[in-house]
Amino acid sequence: MTTDVVHDTLRFERALPHPPNIVFAAYADVDQRVLWSAPSDDEIVLFESHDFTVGGVDHFICGLKDSPQFAGTTRYEHIVDDEVIVFSERLVTTAGDLLAMSLVTWAVSLSEGGGTLLTITDQATSAAGDGPIEGSRHGYTAMLDQLDAHLSTR
């Protein structure tokens, strides 16, 4: 593992044809989130614990379905129902080696026609070179596709 520290700010926007409360609930409800948060059908996100409150923490494992190789924590710093979620996230290998840390904002706003504009900003710091940053870039893009598909079936 490299000790190269890399920083980047990643920004994603997605127009969704669902009202903000539905989009927000898809994140807040861990049972829904587990259905769409993995970026592909070959991957998995499993929550060991979940506390979606200010100061609350989620503990999760993720990676390939056969052998999830990452563990993480999400600490909720600021939540305004149906509008914004701000959290810090820490990702490590299952052996405990730090990979990345982020400050992430999910901004949920009403768009024209009653849908939602979802804007995600990930201020990422990788302790392992470019890999975790590129993983986040790919992961969020794919995850937003999964979220859109999930909401379309509800």
> In the 8-state DSSP scheme, what is residue 129?
T
User: What CATH number does residue 112 fall under?
Assistant: 3.30.530.20
Q: What percent of the chain has pLDDT over 90?
A: 92
Each residue's pLDDT tens digit, 110-136: 998 889 999 999 999 999 999 999 999
Q: Under a CB-based contact definition with an 8 Å cutoff, are residues 147 and 22 in contact?
A: no
What integer pLDDT is reported at residue 3 of this predicted model?
63
Classify residue 43: in a domain, yes or no.
yes
Structure confidence by residue, pLDDT tens digits, 44-92: 999 999 999 999 999 999 999 999 999 999 999 999 999 999 999 999 9
Q: Give domain status of residue 69, yes or no.
A: yes
Question: In total, how many domains does the chain have?
Answer: 1
Our measurement of the distance from residue 79's CA atom to the centroid of its chain's CA atoms, rounded to an integer in Å, reads 15
Mean pLDDT calculated for residue range 23-47 = 95
Tell me which residue range forms the domain holding 92.
Answer: 6-152
Q: Is 39 inside a domain boundary?
A: yes
Residue 47 · residue 131 · CB < 8 Å: no
What do you get for the CA distance between the two ends of the chain, in Å?
A: 42
Supply the pTM of this predicted model: 0.93
Whether 125 and 100 have beta carbons less than 8 Å apart is answered as yes
The answer to whether residue 1 scores a pLDDT higher than 90 is no
Average pLDDT of every residue of the chain: 95
Q: Tally helices (H) and strands (E) across the chain.
A: 3, 7
In a domain, 17, yes or no: yes
13 Cβ partners below 8 Å, 6+ apart?
117, 118, 119, 120
Q: What is the CA radius of gyration of the chain?
A: 15
Strand order in the sheet with 57-64: 6-16, 116-126, 98-110, 84-93, 70-80, 57-64, 43-49
Is there a domain that residue 1 lies in? no
81 in a structural domain: yes
